[in-house]
Amino acid sequence: MNTHVDWSGVRERVIAMEEAERRARGREPLSHSLFEPVLTLAEIGEAEAQFGVTLPEEYRTFLAEVGAGGPGPGCLSPLCRIDGTWGWLWDTAGHHWMLDPSGPFVETDGWADQQRATLRAAGYEPTTQDEDTDYLDDYREAFGDAGEEAWHLERDRGAVLISDNGCGMTGWLIIVGPHRGELRDRDCETNPPYEPYLDAKGNPHTFRTWYLEWLEQRESAAR
């Protein structure tokens, strides 16, 4: 049974921090809301029903108590509905990041095995592994014009792009699999492995510890 996560005061702390930073820089007070509106439990349930998953409790309560998107480590991708479809908004053109819940997120150390299994299931024997432990060329050979898209969809399966940190740096929230609720870091420009976000003790961050560490560091800097 999930235990409720209390986000009391977090939204107010983020706003106070932003206002303090603006004052320190001689800027005008905020003229817009920092956060996207919170989602109702009915809206969250509708999104979960669309994807056939239950969102990690720490993130689910954040959506209901803090906001559907807003400031955070990088810029949090808002969970929103566009033309009747739920997804994570990831650019100004209004494109959604759509969760593929068909299987667990594959950790970096298991990615090569996953690729080989997929290729063999399609009747293709893997041949070329590049320096990133990828079989992208083989996917193109096995699946034709759809090969590159199939590779990307499978690589990101079970996770959502939760934050854009600029210059190709991205944060991912695992939704499906044994590490559900944890965060992963990835530079999409250079295609390196997904790496866990770790706390000061070397433990993988969950959504709550990841967000609160960012807030506490920003508050400390503002002081």
Span 193-209, average pLDDT: 93
Q: Is the pLDDT of residue 117 over 90?
A: yes
Q: Is the pLDDT of residue 210 over 90?
A: yes
Backbone angles phi, psi at 182, to 5 degrees: -90, 165
For residue 15, give both structure tokens: 């706003």
* Strand, coil or helix: 82: strand
Catalogue all structural domains in the chain, each as residue range(s) with its CATH number: 10-105+157-222 (3.40.1580.10), 107-156 (no CATH)
Span 70-99, average pLDDT: 86
Q: Is the pLDDT of residue 162 over 80?
A: yes
Contacts of 12 (CB under 8 A, 6+ apart): none
Position 146 confidence tier, pLDDT thresholds 50, 70, 90: very high
Contacts of 60 (CB under 8 A, 6+ apart): 44, 54
pLDDT tens-digit map of 17-64: 888 888 888 777 776 788 999 999 999 999 999 999 999 999 999 999
* Strand, coil or helix: 25: coil
pLDDT of residue 88: 94
Position 3 confidence tier, pLDDT thresholds 50, 70, 90: low
